[in-house]
Each structure stands twice: as C-alpha cells, then as structure tokens.
Structure 1
C-alpha cells in the first residue's frame, strides 16, 4: 500500500533518527518511492528544520557529517548504457524513469535496442561499452525472461557493472549474481484473482501472450486460485502467439457458454482491447457475461469498455535500476568493496475501471 505523504514523512524521520544519517537513494528504495519523490520529501522536512541534507544524505539535526561507514554517493556525470528489446509497451516508461534518475545525477543515458533478437544484445553491449558507457541497464531478449543455454555469457563478460531490468536468472545461473529490478508479476496475477474472488467469481481463466512474463503470471494465478479455492478452467491454453486472436475468442466463448467461466485475466491490455468487441460480436458481453482484467495498463483505460488492469510500476523500475547501477559505478570508481547485491521486486497495483462490473458473478443469470 502506498503511504500518504504525511505517513511517508514520519517514516523518513523515524529512519533518519534511528540511523543518524542515510543516503537519499537508499531511503527511496526502502520506502518504495521514486528518488524524485523522496527528494521532495527531504526538501520539505529540511525546510522545516526536522532533518539536514548533506552530500546526498539525510542527516538527523546535530550530526555534521554522514556516518563514515556509508557507501559513496551515486556517480555524478556517469554515462549509462541501457539495452531494451523495444521502446514500446512497458519499456517506454521504464526508459523514461531510468533517464530521469541518471539525469538527476548529471549523467547521460545512451540507449540500445535489440528488437527481441537474442544475438543483438551482445552486439549492442559491445557498441555501448566501446563508446565509453560505465555501466549497463539490460533487459535481454531472453524469450522466457530467463537465460538458457549460456545466453548470459556475454553479460557476465561485458567488463562493466550491469543491472538486469524486468528479467531474472534462476538460482545457479551465473547471472543470478547480478543486481536486478523487476515487477513481481506473479503477485500482480494474485491481486487480479483476489479482485475476482471479492466480486463473487468462482470459475476463472486466463489468456496470456507468449513472452518473458507469461510463466510468472501463470504461476501467480495458479498459486492464488489454490489458496482461495477458486477453479481455473482446465481447457485454458497456457499461452498463445501474438496476434492469434481467433483462437482466444473461440476459447473464451466456449469457456463462458459451456464451462461456466465468468472472469478472465488477459495479458496484455492491448490484446484485451482487441478481444472485447470480438467477444461481444459473438454474444459474450463484458462485463455482464465475462468480467475482464488486463495486465500492463498501457492503454487499458482508453478502451470502449474501460478495462480494470494490473499496472506494473514501470517508471519506478527504471529509476531504482538506474540508481542501483550508479551506486555500482561509484563503488568501482572509488575502489570501494561492493555492497551486497540486490534483487528488488516491485509490486504492481490494481486499477479498477468498468470491465469487471460491480455485481456478483452470475447474478444476472439467476
């Protein structure tokens, strides 16, 4: 749950009082807010005389310097490379968040795009490193979101600090030792299931697009329905190819008419927008016959039937990943021992609109 500004201020004061001093970047990460938001909070509290701002740290009044054991501040003026598979979809906001974080430290973000071609990741990395970037933010074109068959080798040998963005590596893979920042997509699916359950739905399904996030969303869905005693339609296709809408429409129509499905999670919201009018043309109304939650919230609110959606904290992912990489660059430049690696999972939000309705599932059929 996002803290109210007054609650956040009290939490800032509590942490600074307890520790004497704390870096702004660390404080933002601990509170789960953007560095820009946290800096505004600190400026407000400093104006009130309740804290002091000193060398990028927040200090309890009376302390003249941050504690000596604190790590160096993020590198100012750093050149950061970022490799993404596309600048569309969720990555537009992720790139924007990273660019703002790097820019706030007087640095520059240089972008490389792989186009979802696995072999292009290393080409882009080599080009960026040769051009002088001091670290890499990377969302590799790993089809399942994790490296297979040595796909991580180039990343481990790139020669500069690297942070994974919206990707991860399984335990035992060398890339699991890297820092990472990603959305907890399994939790997002669980939140969707919880909303369906609260509305009275007891038999649900999912239509998931193949790609890096399908396994996480599916795993979260399955775990959530087990814990809540909800049924998942066993005839559901696990994932589908991008653009294969006819198969999805036919499946959902039969699921509603013949198997009692009353709710569906659809990834992505762009796909959901395509599916809704096709379903209605087949006599399946959203939300009357089928409640629907989209995943990603890129354009869900613009649909003819505004779509309830799971919204990843896209900009915050970029900001936190960039700040973490800047810390690694500063440690290397100052010949400092590296602080512990971090695996940061950010929780998505549920944004409620019209596509789930407000009635108990099946009430209009009694």
Structure 2
C-alpha cells in the first residue's frame, strides 16, 4: 500500500525529533523519497511550526521560553496538543470544536487524528500524533463496547506524555482509571428526560436505544439507574434501535415494537437515542398512524439535529463543546505543570474525573405547554 503524505510526515518528524537536527538530503535518503519531495514536506511542516528550518537543515523546535522574561507568553503558548477522536462529525464535531477553541485561546496548537471507530488502530494513530509533535493527548478511543475497552485500552496508561480521556470511562481500579478524564454525565441526562415526561402526566417512559457506542451503553445504564431512583418499573424491555440505512429490517422491528407498545396503551412516552434514529422513527410511526406528540410524547438524546425535525424534538443535550474545552484546559495545565519540577510529590495536582451535566431542551415533541418550553 502506498504511503500517504501524513504517514510520511509522521516518519519525518520522528527522525528529526530523535536526532534533534538533520539535513534535508539526509532525510530524503532515510525516507526513500526524492530531495524535492523531502524539501516540500519540510516546508509544509515548518509552515505549521512543527520544525525549524535554516540553510538546508531542519531541527526540532524549542517551544519553552524562559519564564518571567519580558516576552513571557500565555500559559499554553507554543504547546502542541494531540486529539484522537472516533469521528469528526455528528457528536464529536462539537467536542473537537471546544478543544480547538480552548487551545487557540491559550496560544496552543491542536492536531487531530480520526480512528473511524476502529479501536485496533487507536494506538498507531496516537503514536502518529506524538510523531507530529504532540506533547500531550486528548483521547476518545474508538471503543464500541466494554470488550474493546479491555482489549484495546491498556496502551493508554503507557503513553510517555500526559493524556486526558474524553467521553470515555475506565473500569474502576484499572490503570486507565488513574488518568484524567472529562465526560458527560449521561445518567443525569436520562433522569432529566424521564422526570420531564412524568411531570407531564405520562406513565413510565420506554427506552429505544442503540447499543453500538459508549454513549449508547451509558444511556442504557442511565435508564436502569433512573428507574431505580424514581422507584419505577420499565413498561417493557429496552427496544434495540439500529440505523435505518444500515439495517432496514432491524429498524422496522424497532418501529413495530414501539408502535405495538403505544397502540396497546402500554406506553405514552419514550426516550430515543439518538437524534437521527428518533427523527426516522417519528416519520415511520406517522405512516402507521401514530402521531407525535398527540399519541406519543418523545424525547431524543444527543441534540445534534433534533430541532430540525418536522415536529421539533425535545432533546437531552450533553455539553459536548464544554467537554472538549475543559479537557484541553486540563491537558494544558498538566503540560505547564511539567515545565517546573515540584519540590515534593505532594505538590502535584490530583488527577481529576470531571463529569459535566447535560441539559434538557424542551420543544414540541413531548407535548409540553409553551410556558414549559425552556432550555
């Protein structure tokens, strides 16, 4: 397979970082490319501030200015942060945006790698971030279930740089549990949704949810916890949701199960993860004669596109952008702490597990009165 430019850039940066400095001709020979290609790569990386270039030679940049000088920089000035995310769209687009905004505000640079939910590639992509100059990493592994966490997670605890977990939890007592992390409290979000529907006079809401991501699994776990907190019994088994475009038959089964629960009078309210599935479910239920919110009060989970539905969907909105922002700020704090050696271990900041609370954005799909429609 032909090597991509990004992969070649990673190799080039690794060579310069290991040697401290190198001539462009030497790099061309070691990379197995023409001098013209090596020179073009060096120019591209130097323009991004990843290399210093002078008189046919490149060197690893010195980023740490002496503290307290006249040209003292902002706390994160010159830092390079890496971010590994499973996707750059939908949910994680906002997480990435928040991290980028925090880095830019502090004068740091953020570089990105995407795993496309292939956890077996997470480690190599994180190493690519380090080769590209990242001094610390924000990591949202591409885990799809608990088994991925155990099989593809241990390398995170072995990273040679500070790391912060994003929207991922570790097994209690595990090595990953000792890492900093910033997450949305999805259990709180589910509880908000159920309390709202109960407050509108509905019986216990039914959950329709995916099971193919950490967020989906957290919503399912949060549903069980919320029922226990509220002293309720589920009106039926959780309905397994699947993408309509990937599994039309599975999607139809989910719709039919919800339709039967509503038409039998067993339920009058539901929480659906995620927005896209919720919109398509509402459309299909309408074909079957079930209207939202007249026959079914519905709340979606994620609030990415919920407001764009024909009947705008009430939705639980995890604080995605704030997760990215707080995680980037925490990582920069770790990196700036590392610039000065503490006098004793007691002076090191304690590791932090930060949980941010989702909000409920009330719209038309739950049948709330206009006075109740506040975010």
- Structure 2 CA distance for aligned equivalents of residues 119 and 173 of structure 1: 20
Match of 2:361 in 1: 351
Displacement of 1:105 in angstroms is: 1.2
Paired residue total: 288
- Structure 1 CA distance for aligned equivalents of residues 185 and 147 of structure 2: 14
- Structure 1 CA distance for aligned equivalents of residues 284 and 332 of structure 2: 47
Match of 2:7 in 1: none
2:82–2:137 CA contact under 8 A, matched in 1: yes
Displacement of 1:150 in angstroms is: 4.0
Displacement of 1:320 in angstroms is: 0.2
- TM-score (normalizing by structure 1): 0.75
Are 1:235 and 2:237 an aligned pair?
A: yes
- Structure 2 CA distance for aligned equivalents of residues 342 and 214 of structure 1: 24
State the SS of the aligned residue for 2:323: helix
2:76–2:103 CA contact under 8 A, matched in 1: no
- Structure 1 CA distance for aligned equivalents of residues 158 and 237 of structure 2: 44
Q: How big is each residue's C-alpha offset from its partner over 1:20-44, in whole Å with a ceiling of 9 and x where there is no partner?
A: xxxxxxxxxxxxxxxxxxxxxxxxx
- Structure 1 CA distance for aligned equivalents of residues 127 and 223 of structure 2: 38
1:146–1:167 CA contact under 8 A, matched in 2: no
Displacement of 1:90 in angstroms is: 1.4
Match of 1:298 in 2: 304
Match of 2:217 in 1: 215
Stretches of structure 2 lacking an aligned partner (at least 5 in a row): 1-73, 245-249, 370-375
- Structure 2 CA distance for aligned equivalents of residues 107 and 145 of structure 1: 33
Task: Give 1:321-360 correspondences, 5 Å limit.
Answer: 321-336=327-342, 337=345, 338-358=348-368
Structure 1 residue runs of 4 or more that deviate by more than 6 Å after TM superposition: none
Displacement of 1:219 in angstroms is: 2.2
Are 1:258 and 2:264 an aligned pair?
A: yes
Match of 2:35 in 1: none
Displacement of 1:74 in angstroms is: 4.2
Are 1:187 and 2:188 an aligned pair?
A: yes
More off after superposition, 214-223 vs 146-155: 146-155
2:209–2:238 CA contact under 8 A, matched in 1: no
Match of 2:38 in 1: none
2:198–2:204 CA contact under 8 A, matched in 1: no
Cα 1:335–1:192, aligned 2, differ >3 Å: closer, same or farther?
same
Task: Give 1:167-178 correspondences, 5 Å limit.
Answer: 167-178=168-179
Match of 2:277 in 1: 271
Match of 1:142 in 2: 143
Cα 1:146–1:339, aligned 2, differ >3 Å: closer, same or farther?
farther
Are 1:123 and 2:124 an aligned pair?
A: yes
Displacement of 1:232 in angstroms is: 1.7
Q: How big is each residue's C-alpha offset from its partner over 1:219-266, in whole Å with a ceiling of 9 and x where there is no partner?
A: 2222222333444222333x4333342121111001111252110100
Q: Per chain length, whose mean CA-contact separation is higher, i.e. which structure has more relative contact order (CA < 8 Å, sep 6+)?
A: 1
Match of 1:283 in 2: 289
More off after superposition, 251-260 vs 316-325: 251-260
Displacement of 1:93 in angstroms is: 0.8
Structure 2 residue corresponding to 1:307, chosen from 297, 310, 313: 313
State the SS of the aligned residue for 1:232: coil
State the SS of the aligned residue for 1:149: helix
Stretches of structure 1 lacking an aligned partner (at least 5 in a row): 1-72, 360-366
- Structure 1 CA distance for aligned equivalents of residues 136 and 361 of structure 2: 35
Task: Give 1:23-42 correspondences, 5 Å limit.
Answer: none
RMSD: 2.0
Are 1:77 and 2:78 an aligned pair?
A: yes
1:145–1:213 CA contact under 8 A, matched in 2: no
State the SS of the aligned residue for 1:141: coil
